[in-house]
Chain A
Amino acid sequence: MTQALQAATPRPAPEAPYYLAVGNEVELFLAAHRARMPVLLKGPTGCGKTRFLEHMTHRLYRGAEAGTRAGIDSPLVTVACHEDLTATDLVGRYLLEGDDTVWMDGPLTRAVRDGSICYLDEIVEARKDTTVLIHALTDHRRILPIEKRGEILPAHPDFLLVLSYNPGYQSVAKDLKPSTRQRFVALEFDYPPPEVEAEIIAHEADIDVPLARDLAELGKRIRNLHHRGFDEGVSTRLLIYTAQLIVGGIGVREACVAAICRAITDDDEVQRAVTEVATTLLP
């Protein structure tokens, strides 16, 4: 499982992943990194949290500001949290190898040891013991207790812990505890304004700006329906998918229906209304 978790983390591309800043999130993250403060990314699905972190990782570990960090082999360790994720999965475990047992670092331990950024995506989905585990890492101690080995691992100076979660659809039972929440610098993300979103769509899908503007406008209108069965409306990611379908030769209306209308809701009437909005806005 640990290997699977690690395999999910792609090595940053040679070029910095595209990210268009909406506010001062880049400056805030850089300042937090300098001060070794853990960061909490909050925001709806598909608004660019993960892309932002990939961009910042590249900037800090592969860009002009990398310095000695450029030698770190895996600068970003991503863990997609789920309800079966335990502290053991994060820290590591003994595995049988022939007649022996060997210790295998978990993704968190590896990041702490190497000085990478450890990104726990959707942390509230994980079991409670994982959130307690990170407490010692996210205050002045910056240590990771490895219980099974009786070891206290001090964090590498470049290590940074980043969590993300989506406050929109979490239940109270799955919300972060104040004792956890108050250890992080929180960056709040939202869907960008239409003109910025159009630029993002045009870049990501390589479509012309006018069509990207129409799609961004469509996203804005659909997000007006936040209490019609879907709290978050349509994500920037879905708008990019739509544009990519159009680039791939699918008709504008068909692309909207497939990538947006059917994806965001199962309510037939909402689907139809959203289709009509798309018909109104798109050529």
Chain B
Amino acid sequence: MARVEPSRNDVAALTAVALDDVARVLEIYVEAMLARPAEVRPLGDLASGDRSRAGHVDLEGAAAAGRPTTDGAAFYLPEQIERFGNPCGNFMVYRMAVLHQLGGVLFGTYRRGPVRFADFFAGFDQPGLARALFARLEGARIDAALARTFRGVRRDLLRLIDDALESTPPPASDRDCRPGFELQPHAGPESPPAPAPRRRSRGPSREAALSHLAGRLLMAQRRLVAVPALPRGRGSGDVDPAFDSTVRLKACDEGGGRGAGAADPALDLPDEAARLLLRGATVEDTRRAVRSLYRVFASLRPGAGPGRVGPFGGRSWCRRSRTGVRRRPGSAVSSTCPRRPITAIRRRSGSSCGASGPNSRPRSNCGTTWRRARWLRA
């Protein structure tokens, strides 16, 4: 008798976790962590034009990219996750995705600053680019703060970072994607965004450079969370002494050193970004970093294809629908598959993103295959 091997989709169907099944657990989790009730809703519920209350997140854009997001009141998550080969791992992705959004609330992303987010981004020639930079930098700051504050987060964050690094390998020539941080003039804390220099016709694309930056941030975060957890309260304050010193970021913090990766040459991370991983970094530091780095990125030629975002993005955010999905009229849809709401995170597949549902069949024109092709072209 011939032995029938289960297909990848069969395994995924067994190990995937659906939001409907865990939404209440996540809502209780959020309520415990945040001390107030909050809704957990599918990304498909986001309506066109939705914006977060703080205005720094393009919710529709986040939904189009399949990234978990929040408008400050509700937490929007993919309707299904099948990133890991077991339900516990996939539920962990949900929990960490919610916690990452919670981190924005806990660590001041939404705190009212001297300048409203809308005005801040409007000050740039390309607000979309500024938002993209902000998302990557602020996400890294939040993850570092979470790992520093909650000791149980490190192991799961490390798993997600490793998975993100593994699943989104850098382009063939990673060094070519360096945006040339060393060329930028040092921006003061309150410097207005400098006008973009003449756009280069050659060199890395903007998206490749953003992906490069996100990759470097992931590497730096990995170093932070890979430090064996030391008891909180040892040393000064509540911070493990090894936590910061391992990445030697303090030199950067205290010396105000300049140059790419002054904190640790191996990190190849601009100082402005590296500082965000240090204890005490605030959302204002993120704004300064955006101001500082924007000019370099704006000078790059535009590219195509989604880039690496962080532990919760850049992975295969597969576009697929589930039967019985709650949707509002005008909910976000994929730019590549217009009829399909963006609902699920799914493990990268070599040939296709696959699809779920009783009558679905793999489609080769959506999801990761498309992304990989674009990356190869980039």
Contact = CB atoms under 8 A, between A and B. Distances in A.
29 contacts: A208-B231, A209-B233, A210-B231, A210-B232, A210-B234, A213-B232, A213-B233, A214-B151, A221-B33, A224-B31, A224-B33, A224-B35, A225-B28, A225-B31, A228-B28, A228-B31, A269-B25, A269-B28, A270-B28, A273-B26, A276-B29, A277-B29, A277-B33, A278-B152, A279-B95, A279-B156, A280-B95, A281-B151, A283-B151
A80 interface: no
Q: Which label, helix, strand, loop or mixed, suits the secondary structure of the B interface?
A: helix
A277 B33 CA distance: 7
B94 to A, nearest CB: 10
Interface residues of B, number: 24
B233 A221 contact: no
A211 interface: yes
Contacts, number: 64
Contact of B152 (A225, A270, A272, A281): A281
B96 to A, nearest CB: 9
Interface in B230-265: 231-234
Contacts of A279: 95, 152, 156
A213 B233 CA distance: 9
B232 A280 contact: no
Contact of A280 (B31, B35, B150): B150
Contacts of B153: 280
Interface of B: 24-26, 28-29, 31-36, 95, 99, 150-154, 156, 229, 231-234
Interface in A181-240: 208-211, 213-214, 221-222, 224-225, 228
Interface of A: 208-211, 213-214, 221-222, 224-225, 228, 269-270, 272-274, 276-283
Given A214-B151, A272-B25, A280 B231 contact: no
A211 B25 CA distance: 25
Nearest to B234: A210
Given A273-B26, A281-B152, 12 more contacts: A213-B232, A221-B32, A222-B32, A225-B31, A269-B28, A274-B28, A277-B29, A277-B33, A280-B152, A281-B151, A283-B152, A283-B229
Given A210-B234, A211-B231, A280-B152, A269 B24 contact: yes
